[in-house]
Amino acid sequence: MCEAAVFVVRGGERHKVMENVVTVTPEGGQLLLTDLFGEQKLITAKVEKVDLTGHEIILSQ
């Protein structure tokens, strides 16, 4: 599977936002995260790194 955990870096600290994310979609200056089960979360952040082999997406605010 190709799910990823999404983390946000704030103040130099990494915080997990969501697990099992399968899509990240830009939505008017924000990012819409959707997980394997269809749950969604809208977050204001920018992509810093996508690590497909490590199954991580790193965002910053």
2-61 per-position pLDDT tens digit: 899 999 999 999 999 999 999 999 999 999 999 999 999 999 999 999 999 999 999 999
Q: What is the pTM of this model?
A: 0.92
Contact 21, 37 (CB under 8 A): no
Contact 58/7 with Cβ under 8 angstroms?
A: yes
What pLDDT does residue 2 have? Answer: 82
d(CA 1, CA 45): 25
d(CA 50, CA 48): 7
> Which of 10, 9, 7, 4 lies closest to 23, judged by CA?
4
Give residues with Cβ within 8 angstroms of 28, minimum separation 6. none
